[in-house]
Amino acid sequence: MASNEEDISKSTNPALDPDLDNPDHPGLEFAQFAAGCFWGVELAFQRVEGVVKTEVGYSQGHVHDPSYKLVCSGTTEHAEVIRIQLDPNVCPYTNLLSLFWSRIDPTTLNRQGNDVGNQYRSGIYYYNEAQAQLARESLEAKQKEFADKKIVTEILPAKRFYRAEEYHQQYLEKGGGRGAKQSAAKGCNDPIRCYG
């Protein structure tokens, strides 16, 4: 009986549904990552050749249509995520995985740098089995670099994506809280300065 009730609750809570959105154009694919505060992560992915569009938002939680304030309360179980639209003919998914691993400490639970809370956990949220397999293989390879520490990055199917408030979108490219715009140009290697 509990199993049936659980199935019913999942089907009535849109936050638990898979992300069924479609990319803007045929031939593009989605990718989704959680890597701490989404501002710096978004700028890093914006700079990748073959990344056509980035959006930051919330996923993997249990509350429908959450706000930033609610996510930061720690009660929704959402992670701050970036959803990417990529052209796989220009940017293989493995390129995104490499950048993801370079941006995080995969051994810290619910934390990246000074950002602490379950919304700052690290995760790879896949849209198909090919992405799932590549994500698992990349985790196994990365684990070999951390022989003495366990990687806590989660690898799960992508759930419904809730786009964050507009002021969060391309935040550092627009200047962030200090008005110092940072380049999102493809191939840019300038250091990313993340500030509120």
Among the options 37, 72, 91, 194, which is catalytic?
37
pLDDT value of position 13? 92
- DSSP type of residue 27: T
67, 66, 171, 58: which is closest to 125 by C-alpha?
A: 58
Q: Percentage of the chain with pLDDT > 90?
A: 87
Question: Is 37 noted as a catalytic residue in this protein?
Answer: yes
- The CA-atom distances, in angstroms, between 166 and each of 24, 70, 103 are 18, 16, 24
Write down the CATH superfamily of domain 22-174. Peptide methionine sulphoxide reductase MsrA (3.30.1060.10)
- Is pTM beyond 0.75? Reply is yes
Give the CA count within 13 Å in the CB-facing half-sphere of 34: 34
Q: Where are the beta strands (DSSP E) in the chain?
A: 29-35, 51-59, 79-86, 111-112, 115-116, 122-126, 154-157, 162-163
Pairing label, strands 154-157, 122-126: parallel
Q: What is the mean pLDDT of residues 132-158?
A: 96
pLDDT in tens, 39-85: 999 999 999 999 999 999 999 999 999 999 999 999 999 999 999 99
Q: Percentage of the chain with pLDDT > 70?
A: 93
pLDDT value of position 194? 83
Domain boundaries, the chain: 22-174
Instruction: Check whether 195 has a pLDDT greater than 80.
Output: no
Instruction: Check whether 107 has a pLDDT greater than 70.
Output: yes
pLDDT in tens, 3-44: 444 444 445 899 999 999 999 999 999 999 999 999 999 999
Q: CB within 8 A of 104, min separation 6: which ones?
A: 35, 36, 112, 122, 153
pLDDT value of position 196? 57
